[in-house]
Structure 1
Amino acid sequence: MNAIAIDDEPLALEIIRDFCGRMPGIELIAFFDDAVTGRQFVEDHPPDLLFLDIHMPDINGLDLVNSLSAPPMLIFTTAHKEFALEGFELEAVDYLLKPFSFGRFEKAIHKAAKFYQPHKQPQPDSLFVYAEYRMMKILFTDIIYIESLDDYIKIHLKNGRFILTLLSLKKVAEKLPAGFMRIHRSYIVSSKQIDSFLGRKLRLISGAELPVSETYLPALQQWMKPS
């Protein structure tokens, strides 16, 4: 099993690394003391098993799990036993109360092994971005187009809404499924939102008009050819 650990305490991460190193059948592929970075890594590289602290300064561990598009098997590692019920309601495999022994850790891993199945990554229907001081879920079907603003992107949504987040257009493009098209160095559009195309202007159903650059013009013309 591949595993990832997220805990804001470096000592706790060292213990998990040590214990995983002693256990056959499990490999700790990454660990993070920054919950925001760790959450994104889990989203991009889903593990079989996630060791997760609950009480963290950036994101509460329970909220982090709820924000994942496809949560992996969970083992909570925390010093706060009052969260145990909520942890098990999220169908956690086990709940390790700090400080825990190697024997207790070993028992949790054996329990996880009973549930383990080769990881199958489902197709996500959304992405998460950090905006307005929190992780925000955005459904792909709600996106009209995405605009680059230097170091930020502006995600234009249905009903005139938008979300501004610190992210490059290249990075967000890697998270988008088929059906989104790059038409300019500053714009990505949802193909379902295209109304018409004339010259170098793309008109969207919302009424917005966007420029099309020479680089992306051939791909757009090919896509819009009658079948």
Structure 2
Amino acid sequence: MEIKFIVIDDEPPALQVIKTYAQEFPWLKLQHTFTDAVSAAEYLRHSQADLIFLDIHMPDINGLDLARGLTNRPMIIFTTAYKQYAFDGFELEAIDYLLKPIPFQRFEKAVQKAQLHQQQQLLPTATESLLVHSSYHMVKIPLHEIIYIESLEDYIRIHLTKQAPVLTLMTLKKMQEKLPAARFRRIHRSYIVSVDKVRSVINRKVKLSSSAELPVSDSYSDFIRDWKGNS
């Protein structure tokens, strides 16, 4: 499965490093390189890329600002000499954050993450797991281990059967879009539950396999009817 990518970096030697490393992976297909963010932004308005290697410190537009301004944001791997922007990259759900000078082994790990992410995005009905960013790592979560998902303003906490909860920067709405609708239902503005982990529904509350009890709000009361109808 091909990944079409572009590289944006105002330093030609840095561009060459990415190009050289990428030649070791036949499924990485270079589309274009740019030494300024303005030209890259114009290109992305009319052309598609699956992945961007994006420098952060550039003279015209900061790489973070460029990423934030993209309407249909491709996968992004940030490349920079500055550690202090790691959290910003994490906030933008970057696939990885590579510090210059970039060792080949770290490049390889980053593009493998991109490959796995693309496979999951292109085959949503076949996947039995999802990837999320947590503590600056990509964490793979099997769908069958999810009990429920809790909203904490800008973050969500994923409660699991076999491990500690996983905290990730994402909205509950965006997470809901990633999950198969038949298996996961929203019951409240703050909760999504795994349908097969629901053990009972009493007085507008669901009791889960973990013994947790969660409220069902009026806006999502159709869940109770549907659950009883399928029980």
TM-score (norm 2): 0.57
Match of 2:192 in 1: 188
Instruction: Tell me the distance in 1 between the aligned counterparts of 2:212 and 2:163.
Output: 11
Once the two structures are superposed, residues 134-154 of structure 1 have per-residue CA deviations (whole angstroms, 9 ceiling, x without a partner) of: 111111111110000011100
Cα distance, 1:7–1:220 mapped onto 2, change above 3 Å: farther
Cα distance, 1:200–1:126 mapped onto 2, change above 3 Å: same
Equivalent positions of 1:31-70 (< 5 A) are 31-34=51-54, 41-42=74-75, 56-57=98-99, 60-67=106-113, 68-69=115-116
Q: Which amino acid aligns with 1:154?
A: R
Match of 1:136 in 2: 139
For the residue of structure 1 that corresponds to 2:139, the secondary structure is strand
- Checking the alignment, whether the CA contact within 8 Å between 1:127 and 1:140 is kept in structure 2 is yes
Q: Which amino acid aligns with 1:133?
A: Y
Q: Structure 1: state its 5+ residue gaps.
A: 19-26, 44-53, 73-119
CA displacement at 1:57 relative to structure 2: 2.9
| Residue range with higher mean Cα deviation, 185-194 or 213-222 | 213-222
TM-score (norm 1): 0.58
Instruction: Tell me the distance in 2 between the aligned counterparts of 1:34 and 1:210.
Output: 42
Match of 1:4 in 2: 4
For the residue of structure 2 that corresponds to 1:222, the secondary structure is helix
Match of 1:92 in 2: none
Match of 1:175 in 2: 178
Match of 2:41 in 1: none
Q: Which of 1 and 2 has greater Rg? A: 1
- Checking the alignment, whether the CA contact within 8 Å between 1:3 and 1:28 is kept in structure 2 is no
The partner residue of 1:214 within 207, 218, 226 is: 218
Cα distance, 1:69–1:223 mapped onto 2, change above 3 Å: farther
Q: Is 1:17 equivalent to 2:36 in the alignment? A: no
Once the two structures are superposed, residues 101-147 of structure 1 have per-residue CA deviations (whole angstroms, 9 ceiling, x without a partner) of: xxxxxxxxxxxxxxxxxxx7362111111111111111111111000
User: What count of residue pairs does the alignment treat as equivalent?
Assistant: 161
The partner residue of 1:223 within 210, 214, 227 is: 227
Instruction: Give the superposed CA RMSD.
Output: 3.8
